[in-house]
Amino acid sequence: DTEVTQTPKHLVMGMTNKKSLKCEQHMGHRAMYWYKQKAKKPPELMFVYSYEKLSINESVPSRFSPECPNSSLLNLHLHALQPEDSALYLCASSSPGRGRNNEQFFGPGTRLTVL
């Protein structure tokens, strides 16, 4: 199973709402990532978790709050977002280590619209 799943597929929220994006993988990967992708642009790295610990935070505003409850799950909590935060949010995972194991696998993404 080389699948990364993300829910929901689409999300529309107001600027005062609180919502969460979820990501799950069962490949035994110990690194998980959140990316943000605007239309016709490449993905931008937001956060990296390695062995359930936050290892990289790319100066993301605090209205985005990541959480890694266990090695298979990754959440992104959203609060007080702005319309410019509307984008495709992608989750990825990889297995830190040599050889093919550190190949990144991406989920299908959550299309977020902030009104």
Residues touching another protein: how many (CB under 8 A)? 32
Residue 7 makes contact with another protein by CB under 8 A? no
Least distance CB 16 / another protein (angstroms): 27
* Phi and psi torsions of 101, nearest 5°: -60, -20
Over 60-85, what HEC string results? CCCCEEEEEEECCEEEEEEECCCHHH
Window 47-76: contact mask with another protein (x via CB under 8 A): -x-x----xx-x------------------
| Nearer CB in complex with another protein: 79/108 | 108
Closest by CA to 96, choosing from 60, 56, 64, is 56
> What does the alpha-carbon distance between residue 5 and residue 81 come to, in Å, rounded to a whole number?
23
Q: Where in 29-48 is the site for another protein (CB under 8 A)? A: 30-31, 41-45, 48
- Residue 95 C-beta: closest distance to another protein, Å: 8
Amino acid at 56: I
